[in-house]
Structure 1
Amino acid sequence: MNLVSPTLRPATPAGTPNLPAVVAGGDAIPAIRQYLRIALRWRYVIIGSVVACAILGLVITLLMTPKFTAAATIEISREASQVTNFQGVERETSVADQEFYQTQYGLLRSRVLAERVAAQLRLVDNKAFYKQFGVDQDNPAFREVNGRYVPAGRAERQRIAGEILIKNVAVEPTRLSRLVAIKFTSAGAVFSQKVANAWAENFIQTNLERKVQATSYGRNLLQRELGQAKERLDESQRQLVTYAEQQRIINLPAQGSGENQTAERSIVADELASLNAALSQATADRIQAEARFREAGRAGSSAEALRNQAINMLRQRRAEAAADYQKLMVQFEPDYPPARALQSQIDQLDRSIAREESRVSGSVQAEYRQAAERENGLRQRVEGLKSNYLDLRRRSIQYNIYQQEVDTNRALYDGLLQRFKEIGVAGGVGVNNVAIVDPADVPQKPSSPRMLINLAIALLAGLAIGGGLAFALEQMDEAIADPSEVERRLGLPLLGSVPKVEGVAPRDALLDRKSDLVDAYLAIQTSLAFTTEHGVPRSLAVTSTRPAEGKSTTALALATMLARAHKTVILVDGDMRSPSVHHLGGVDHDRGLSNYLAGQEDIGQLTFEMQDLGLTAMSAGPIPPNAAELLTGHRLQQLVAKLLETFDHVVIDSPPVMGLADAPLIASRVEGVVYAVESHGIRSSIVKTALQRLLLANAHILGGVLTKFEARKAHYGYGYEYGYGYGRDKG
């Protein structure tokens, strides 16, 4: 919290160093040093917590029942050994699929597995088992009849037994391997071994059963799908046959088998193909017959006639007869009878040749007409079949749709049937991907309690609790413990710290120039010398938050130190409500500050000398009805001015700030204020409030003095201890 805002900071005199009266806060303490400071301050709290936790941990460890842990090791493979080439319905796990192993670890901790182990080991109705694990017998499930549990609560007891086993079992996978340790802990070594081994065996059994169940489920599902596919196939076949009967579509069965199998062919298509082939052959025959016919039109030159054997024989006989006739004509006349006979024979042969040639020509013509007629008949039949085939094609569109549906249903049915057979074979093999590597042995020594580990945990817990308590106490503690907190918490420049002295009066301690009290105030005087350009402020007031914080001792000590520095000093008792300076001088307070403030001008009658300390003092004077009214006027300012004409320094022992208006009034009339703060005596929040009042009065706070400081109670030591003390300060 920033104690002073820039608008409230009192202005320093001209020519003085820029040393703020109140700073916003000291330099930030490193976190490690701050924690170390807290630990050192509350070391006894931390040590007490550690010791208490250590004792508690030791007692608990000694009272704990020894427990034994048995471990069985199993191996979980990603893929089971493939006995057949058939695959089950479960998805194969990839190498990088870590979900597989996490699933297996979860199955090892499943409730069903625990209840199965409990049932196998007959723990459900075992009274000793429940007693060993401290199960509450008030549950209705544990009601007994004739010394035995009632059957009605068996399901509840089995659930409770499974929960007990799950709480005491541990599944510990071995890193970067497929090995898993199943550990069970109980008060009985043999019992732990039985449970660990039973757990591993039942996990393997459940794994196998799960695979069989998955395969059985797949088989049942495929069986239902097969039934539905069979119904769809039969229905589609009935639709196909019915439509074929209605449309008079007759197809021949498929030819060939396997990859060479062809689709069904209709009779019309086959007949059209056959007639079309016959038409092509008839056309070729007709063209050939036509060529022979046209060639036969040229008489004597027909190829058929040339190939005819009878015509060739007749022509040969005619040629012989003609040769004989020509021989006779050499000697005889045409009228020669043998010559006429030969001529008659030749004529007869010519007529026979002509008749044979005519017969051959008629045969070629008849063959041509027959070929042409056959071609025309086949062509008419083919044209008719073409019309029938086109009509069949139109009527076969829906038929083909039905046929495709039949083929699809048949393919689906065949695939499901094949898959059904494969699953049946794969499900009957019973492969497993879990194997027991090391069965559990009977543990030879307890696994818990472990004395050293428990003590270490207790020490750590005590350290944590102690640290938490120390931190909480530090947050709640607002006391100013050591000099560094004056600047850190209050925002005041530290002028010095004053040790707490006991067994000696402050005045006597000041008379001993070798005392630690004198050394401390000499250091404070030195610090004050740097607050202004002219050294120690000529007029200053010493105040505190509340009474008995050491402000009067500080005022007396500062006046004494200045006097020993060969300065003329006057100590003014400004606390007119509870005066104390007159006690130090051994005089009464019949005359003093209140007299001057009331109007008396003779200052010499109001002062007295303190020869042993070398200074002059002014008591508070008679206690007025209202001291604040006297301080409100300008008389105090005149007094300070007159005293500075005679003395080098004026030190005023001011009243406390809280609850009174006197201190702000006095602080506004002097050059600077020294603020006394009691170590471990007041909360910092109250001091901040008091400082804020002084700042509102435009007071120039030179710095703070930590009084009654004990190094042994501080957050950290300062290298020495103060050994003196002083009595109760009234001021």
Structure 2
Amino acid sequence: MNDDVRLGEQGRQNMAIPVLVQYLQVALRWRFVVAGIIAAALAIGLVVTLLTTPQYTAVARIEISRDQKNITKVEGVESSTAGQDLEFYQTQYNLLQARSLAEYVARKLRLAQSDQFAEAHGIDFSAGLFGIDSGRPMTRDEMHAREEAVVKILLDHVEISPLRGSALVDIRYTSGSPQLSAQIANEWTQQYIAMDLQRRFASTADARTFLEGRLEDLRSKLETSERNVVNYASNKDIVALGKAPGSEGAGTGDQTLVSSDLQALNAQLVQATADRIAAEARMRAGSDKGAAPDPLIANTALAQLRQKRAEVSAEYAKLLVKFDPKYPAAEALQQQIASLDSAIRREEGRLVGLSGSVRSADYKAALERESNLRGKVNALKSRLDLQQRDSIQYNIYKRDADTNRQLYDALLQRYKEIGVAGVGANNIAIIDEALPPNKPSKPSLPLNLLLALLGGLVAAVATVLALDQIDESLRDPSQVNQVLRLPLLGTIPDTDEGDALERLSDVKSDISEAYFSVRSNLAFSTDHGVPRSLMISSSRPAEGKSTTSFAIATVLARTGMNVILIDADMRSPSIHGFVDQTNEFGLSNLLSGTDDWQGMVRTGVETGLDFIAAGPTPPSAAELLSSNRMTELVRKLGETYDCVVIDCPPVLGLADAPLLSRAVEGCIFVSEAEGVSVRGIKSAIGRLEAVHAHIFGIVLTKLRQKSAGYGYGYDYGYGYGRQSD
């Protein structure tokens, strides 16, 4: 129950360790590996930078406008909104990196034969390119291979950099020659503009070719339809004079010669009828008595005489207002009036005799003219009726000809517009030409070192994580209950063995504090406190089990308990050396048959601790331990001492520890931090559990303070001043 409580407490403590602290511990544990990888990466970055050939980048800047400038104001083949699509600029950027553009540049500058280009990119044309022997003339396939290689180099070294939020684009080219970089960057812009113009003219040429074919077909159809109209009109004697007033639609409402003549004769007939009616009315009016003769009214001479008399009468009336009628001027006017009256009477008398015969002659002439015109109108109406029947087919031919003419005129107009639209201004403008750079753009020592540092950090992190995953040793106290499912009795800081024994004598040292913590936890391992008998073992030698045995026994004795320590590691005894004693006799003698155990007990000079040395090394320690004498010895010692502590040999490869476990109440297992793999520790613990040995817990030794988990490595120097490493 106490073990379960300690497991739960330590499990909660381990779960509370922050993840970043765990990563920091891993980094500190492998700090030398991390430092080595980063240093190697920085050295590689420095060497590569110093050995890399300087590269020069030339920059040319162009502007790509979405709205094309149109000088002629005539719409071209492409829509005016084609450049406003969201894909427009992305399309232009891809065109700037097109393989065809690189081929134009390579062909224009003859880069496949340029030694400067080869030298700037580290290619030796003189020694042959890609297996091509330059000592003989190149074949067409070999020349094509060289051109392909040049195009690939161009595409690899050109960079298109749009300026965010603008229509400006930078064209960058990088090579080992500043002059060549500027030349290629400028040629790249020129060829891009030329390719754009060529593409637009090519689309215009295709449209013109298509329209030429359609115009030829329509021309032939128009000639046939017009010929049909003319032939049919000639056969049917249809003479078209144009559109009739108010007519609408093609091929309908045409005015012919017959309809025009009929219209004119009908107007004359209407006028003749009106004249005949007027003459008849005048003739009838002349026969009525009291009616004014028509010639008297219409005669011009008579009207002039009457007007003259009125004027003279007016002047005569004005004179009478001022003068007497006998006044000479008045008498002269009166005589003139009398003369005019006489002339008027004579003219009226003459006209009255002529009016009867004139009216009769006018009526007959008007009647005859009306009859003639009516006959002609009737004849033209019959002819027009027949012509209107023929005009149905005529209009069909006429509409076909008009339709073909409209189509032909529209296509001909579009054909001319496309030809004129080809002179539109280019929408690409060069803002800045590329100039030979004054300093190299690559390599950059700070940038390369920064990249090397980042690469080294990534490699170091990957390596450390891999090593941490591969490493199966106990690196952290929190792994004890997670991996071994056993309670952790305590952690012992790393130190030399001699130094550990020296510091153990100081009750204020970190070693003493650590083992006192082990003693405190050990007091809760059983229901009666500290076990009456226990053994201390490990997986392999040199894990600190002997030091731990001596330290636990010392701490128990220091707290007032009567403790005896037995060195049961008869193969490699060490306890007697801790207190400067000899190993002439000891446990091996007792197990061999000696019964005087009191004579074997020694007391440490400084510690006051009773102990039994291992004694002479026996031929077979396992045979001695397999008897019941060890169990009997522990029983007898338990009658005299409060606690019997046994230092056992390692578990792996030996049978001593499982045999000794039968004689004690339980076992403390010592494991070195970052020592034996977890599989080895589990194997050793499994051997002890196989013989039903009770394991009180694990003591983790040689724990480096900087690698210790949160809650373990920080507290050894607390309260008495921090001890030096």
| Superposed pair shares fold, TM > 0.5 | yes
3-state SS of 1:205 partner = helix
Superposed CA offset, 1:34-60 (max 9, x none): 332222222222222222222222222
Q: 1:252 to 1:513 in 2, by over 3 A?
A: same
Q: Which of these residues, 404, 412, 419, is aligned with residue 417 of structure 1?
A: 412
Q: 1:654 to 1:503 in 2, by over 3 A?
A: closer
Q: What pairs up with 1:238-249 in 2 under 5 angstroms?
A: none
Question: Is the Cα–Cα contact under 8 Å of residues 473 and 678 in structure 2 kept in the other structure?
Answer: yes
State how far apart, in whole Å, the 1-side matches of 2:592 and 2:395 are: 132
Which residue does 2:38 correspond to in 1? 50
Question: Is the Cα–Cα contact under 8 Å of residues 17 and 531 in structure 1 kept in the other structure?
Answer: no
Question: Is the Cα–Cα contact under 8 Å of residues 60 and 434 in structure 2 kept in the other structure?
Answer: yes
Question: Is the Cα–Cα contact under 8 Å of residues 255 and 262 in structure 1 kept in the other structure?
Answer: no
State how far apart, in whole Å, the 2-side matches of 1:165 and 1:630 are: 90
State how far apart, in whole Å, the 2-side matches of 1:241 and 1:524 are: 128
Question: Is the Cα–Cα contact under 8 Å of residues 73 and 181 in structure 1 kept in the other structure?
Answer: yes
Which residue does 2:333 correspond to in 1? none
Question: Is the Cα–Cα contact under 8 Å of residues 250 and 267 in structure 1 kept in the other structure?
Answer: no
Instruction: Name which of structure 1's ranges 458-467 and 499-508 shifts more when overlaid on structure 2.
Output: 499-508
Q: 1:568 to 1:176 in 2, by over 3 A?
A: same
Question: Is the Cα–Cα contact under 8 Å of residues 22 and 703 in structure 1 kept in the other structure?
Answer: no
Q: Post-superposition shift, 1:676?
A: 0.8
Q: Which of these residues, 89, 111, 114, is aligned with residue 99 of structure 2?
A: 111
Which residue does 1:138 correspond to in 2? 128
TM-score (norm: length of structure 2)? 0.69
Q: Post-superposition shift, 1:12?
A: 5.0
Which residue does 1:31 correspond to in 2? 19
Query: In the alignment, residue 498 of structure 1 is paired with which amino acid?
Result: I
Which residue does 1:192 correspond to in 2? 181
Question: Is the Cα–Cα contact under 8 Å of residues 621 and 656 in structure 2 kept in the other structure?
Answer: no
Q: 1:54 to 1:308 in 2, by over 3 A?
A: same
Q: Post-superposition shift, 1:134?
A: 2.2
Which residue does 2:621 correspond to in 1? 623
1:436 corresponds to 2:414 = no
Which residue does 2:519 correspond to in 1? 525
Question: Is the Cα–Cα contact under 8 Å of residues 105 and 188 in structure 2 kept in the other structure?
Answer: yes
1:211 corresponds to 2:211 = no
Which residue does 1:447 correspond to in 2? 441
1:610 corresponds to 2:588 = no
Q: Post-superposition shift, 1:706?
A: 1.6
Which residue does 2:346 correspond to in 1? none
Instruction: Name which of structure 1's ranges 212-221 and 682-691 shifts more when overlaid on structure 2.
Output: 682-691
3-state SS of 2:601 partner = strand
Which residue does 1:162 correspond to in 2? 151
Which residue does 2:57 correspond to in 1? 69
Q: Post-superposition shift, 1:513?
A: 5.6
TM-score (norm: length of structure 1)? 0.69
Question: Is the Cα–Cα contact under 8 Å of residues 73 and 438 in structure 1 kept in the other structure?
Answer: yes
Which residue does 1:316 correspond to in 2? none
Superposed CA offset, 1:373-404 (max 9, x none): x99xx99x999999998x989x86xx988877
Which residue does 1:426 correspond to in 2? 421
Q: 1:503 to 1:590 in 2, by over 3 A?
A: closer
Q: Post-superposition shift, 1:75?
A: 1.1
State how far apart, in whole Å, the 2-side matches of 1:257 and 1:152 are: 77
Superposed CA offset, 1:416-475 (max 9, x none): 222211110011x14101111112223222223322222222222223323322222222
State how far apart, in whole Å, the 1-side matches of 2:245 and 2:74 are: 27
Query: In the alignment, residue 152 of structure 2 is paired with which amino acid?
Result: E
Question: Is the Cα–Cα contact under 8 Å of residues 254 and 264 in structure 1 kept in the other structure?
Answer: no
State how far apart, in whole Å, the 2-side matches of 1:694 and 1:400 are: 121
Q: Post-superposition shift, 1:200?
A: 1.9
Q: Post-superposition shift, 1:701?
A: 4.1
Q: 1:237 to 1:568 in 2, by over 3 A?
A: farther
Query: In the alignment, residue 287 of structure 2 is paired with which amino acid?
Result: Q
Which residue does 2:287 correspond to in 1? 309
State how far apart, in whole Å, the 2-side matches of 1:694 and 1:249 are: 134
1:564 corresponds to 2:564 = no
Superposed CA offset, 1:485-533 (max 9, x none): 5456545443222345546397777566666544432222123234456
State how far apart, in whole Å, the 2-side matches of 1:652 and 1:563 are: 14
State how far apart, in whole Å, the 2-side matches of 1:437 and 1:530 are: 86
Q: What pairs up with 1:62-461 in 2 under 5 angstroms?
A: 62-93=50-81, 97-135=85-123, 137-139=127-129, 143-144=133-134, 153-231=142-220, 255=243, 263-265=251-253, 309=287, 409-427=404-422, 429-461=423-455
Superposed CA offset, 1:553-612 (max 9, x none): 3233222321222223344566688777788773233455698xxxxxx98748942322
Superposed CA offset, 1:59-83 (max 9, x none): 2222232232222211111112221
3-state SS of 2:243 partner = coil
Q: 1:51 to 1:243 in 2, by over 3 A?
A: farther
3-state SS of 2:670 partner = strand
Q: Post-superposition shift, 1:677?
A: 0.6
Query: In the alignment, residue 126 of structure 1 is paired with which amino acid?
Result: S
Question: Is the Cα–Cα contact under 8 Å of residues 492 and 700 in structure 2 kept in the other structure?
Answer: yes
State how far apart, in whole Å, the 1-side matches of 2:697 and 2:567 are: 20
3-state SS of 1:184 partner = strand
State how far apart, in whole Å, the 2-side matches of 1:436 and 1:574 are: 94
Report sequence identity in percent.
39
State how far apart, in whole Å, the 2-side matches of 1:589 and 1:385 are: 156
Q: Post-superposition shift, 1:713?
A: 7.2
State how far apart, in whole Å, the 2-side matches of 1:224 and 1:386 are: 43
Q: 1:614 to 1:384 in 2, by over 3 A?
A: same
